[in-house]
Structure 1
Amino acid sequence: MVIREATINDRVHIAEIWRSCFTDDENYIELYLNHCLPHTNTWILGGEDGRFYSCISVFPSYFIKDKCKTTGGYLYGVGTLPEHRGKSYSSILINIAVRHLKENGHSYFLVKPATEDLFSLYSRLGFDHQLFKSTFSKDFSGIERNYLIRNSNKYGKAEKLTATELIKLREDELTSSHFMWPLPIVKYILEETQYRNGVSLVFEKITIGGNLKKLYFVGYPDDSDLSGNTFKILETNASSMDDIEDIYSILRNNGRKEYFIKADFPGFGMENITNSGKEKSALFMELKGNVSGCLETLHLSLPLE
């Protein structure tokens, strides 16, 4: 058995695993290999014949509490070729990643299980703390187009959100409630959003109280809705139903056809937005110190799925 940290020269091996486990979209795989892989720690496992069967990646993550930065990792791209499953290869690689994170002084390890069954699996691997999110959904099909146009004078023109601007907005407004991502990962998230026919926009609005607020959102069409009528907001600094309605107005006035809006918000403190419910969002493993109390109230948004 051969286990080692991958380099950019292992693109062929990683692409083979991705085609088998995740997608046959070659352009999407190339996007990941070119713009994300270089900014991760990735491990591959294979045989003496030079072929590799399994891989995992770890993205850098951090959060800020009381002006102190605490770092960790986010598990991504866990895949094993079908003919080699059932041999605990992913578990072996995850243990190596845990050791790497501990040796480099990191405090936590995050994972967002794709299905309910995987929550149990990752719990057995040591991801024994849960994170929660508030879920929001609303059908805006009853809102008249004329209403949107009449109220468009309350906000300015929406502009494309840059990675640098998103980093600043997140650190200015979301550090008390969200996990943070470094600039290279944020750049890739925005590129992936665009590739999936999504948008990342920022605009200024006049609030109900007469104040000026900079509002942003990142999202794309929800693949699970075959009708194509649902827009999924991955992250926003919206904090009221009025903000959500303005985001919908911006989407429609920018030519989007979706009328059903879904969004995930922090699991705590978003009770003022109606039509929301709370559910599991992710798991984490505490690696050092007593950070679980801080982590349990944070929101994992913009994770790559």
Structure 2
Amino acid sequence: MKIRFAQEEDLQKIKNMWEYCFGDTEMFMNYYFDHKYKCENTLVVEDGSSVISSLQLNQYKIKINNNIYDTSYVVGVSTLPEARGVGAMKDLMSTMLNELYNKKQVVSILMPIDYRLYRRFGYEHCYDQMNYEIDMELLKDFRSKGVFKKASNKDIDFIINIYDCFLKDKNGYVKRDKNYYDNLFKEIESESGYVYIHENKELMDGYIIYFKMDDTMFVREIAYKNIDALKSILKFIYNHNTQFKKVSINSIIDDKIKLIIPALKKIDMNIKPFMMGRVINVENFIKDLNIKEDINLKLRVKDEFIDQNNKTFLINNKGIVFTDEKEDVSIDINTFSQLAFSYIDVDEAVFLGNIDMKDTSYIDNLKKMFNKKTNYINEYV
């Protein structure tokens, strides 16, 4: 088996494999392979003349701990049925991780079908979303303070402004620009969805992305600058009550909907796991923390797939270097990634038994490096 980057002549084979594994509609596949797919971001496993496995590394910029990282979002991990169970995926993932390290990327993200498949490669759960299931009639008392219009590319600057305001104190989110929203509008259209924007006194202060699904309105994303915009969005949803019996809303984990629904016990709220993350370059991630407090720590990181991470790091106010000395603290790349993405805090990692240390005095050193934040991401491909 040979692992290489894709060539133009591989496209149809990769599309056929995607269709078999994921069953997406023709409209969505046309969108994806016309606007997102790139040969230079696609790895394939070749067996003889056949492409038997592939994945894509879609490029985003995400903000973690106030640092902006060029990030590979791993999608489309697929293997032909006759090639499963022979180690193709393991070899593909291992090669991919080292390619990302060589490209000097610091972190990576992945939306799993099954967490068990990717934990062994160092990816770990780092993002949740809140899902609300609400009967339409429970929204009837909300009032709109403005008007809605169907959004177009002309509204992208307003939408970026709303999005940035909505997430100004959040972590781990994608930095979106005009090119991003140009593509997003195409993606939503390929799945027969809608984007509407709210205007109140000539101020664009909220938007909604949604889809029609039988008797349910599925809201993929909402963002708002103020409480009036949120209430207006809920009223906009209610105005579809003759079409839908209920609405399913995905949003940020600390969304304010639960604080304004009158009959709170009549709705269903569920926290849903959404995305995994992984640190690709431990040394550079720690450097980027720019630790100001006094620290002196020998940290052992266990990483079976990226040798440059599988070391003991001496961390102090002078910087970070490799050391052969005995470690003070030992941690695997999965837990390190959860701490790095600020999904869990040090106390939680200790409680879970995921940190080995000489004694508990080293906890304070770790707390100078990591703290918990509210993460959000809502990218699908």
**TM-score category, normalised to shorter length:** 0.7 to 0.9
User: What is the distance in 1 between the residues matched to 2:146 and 2:39?
Assistant: 37
Alignment equivalent of 2:119, drawn from 123, 130, 137 = 123
Alignment equivalent of 1:260, drawn from 246, 249, 258 = 246
Partner of 2:216: 230
Letter in 2 for 1:229: D
1:64 correspondence with 2:63: yes
1:298 correspondence with 2:284: no
Change beyond 3 A, Cα 1:214–1:240: closer
Whether the 8 Å contact between 1:65 and 1:176 is mirrored in structure 2 is no
Whether the 8 Å contact between 2:199 and 2:206 is mirrored in structure 1 is yes
CA shift at 1:278, angstroms? 2.4
SS in 1 for 2:10: helix
Whether the 8 Å contact between 1:204 and 1:213 is mirrored in structure 2 is yes
Aligned residues: 286
Whether the 8 Å contact between 1:60 and 1:182 is mirrored in structure 2 is no
Deviations 1:137-167 (A, max 9, x none): 21114656xx78xx45x21232314384344
1:194 correspondence with 2:189: yes
CA shift at 1:40, angstroms? 6.9
Whether the 8 Å contact between 1:235 and 1:302 is mirrored in structure 2 is no
CA shift at 1:43, angstroms? 0.9
CA shift at 1:241, angstroms? 8.0
Unpaired stretches in structure 1, ≥5 consecutive residues: 223-227
The runs of at least 4 aligned residues of structure 1 exceeding 6 Å deviation read 239-242
Supply the RMSD in Å over aligned alpha carbons: 3.2
Among the aligned pairs, what percent are the same residue?
A: 17
Unpaired stretches in structure 2, ≥5 consecutive residues: 262-266, 290-338, 344-373
- Highest Rg: 1 or 2? 2
Partner of 2:272: 279
Letter in 2 for 1:170: Y
Higher RCO (CA 8 Å, separation ≥ 6 residues):
1
Change beyond 3 A, Cα 1:25–1:131: closer
Letter in 2 for 1:264: N
* TM-score, length basis structure 2: 0.65
Letter in 2 for 1:302: E
SS in 2 for 1:37: coil
Whether the 8 Å contact between 2:163 and 2:224 is mirrored in structure 1 is no
Letter in 1 for 2:191: R
Whether the 8 Å contact between 2:43 and 2:55 is mirrored in structure 1 is yes
Whether the 8 Å contact between 2:61 and 2:174 is mirrored in structure 1 is yes
- Between 249-258 and 15-24, the greater mean CA deviation after superposition: 249-258
Partner of 1:225: none
User: What is the distance in 2 between the residues matched to 1:39 and 1:256?
Assistant: 46
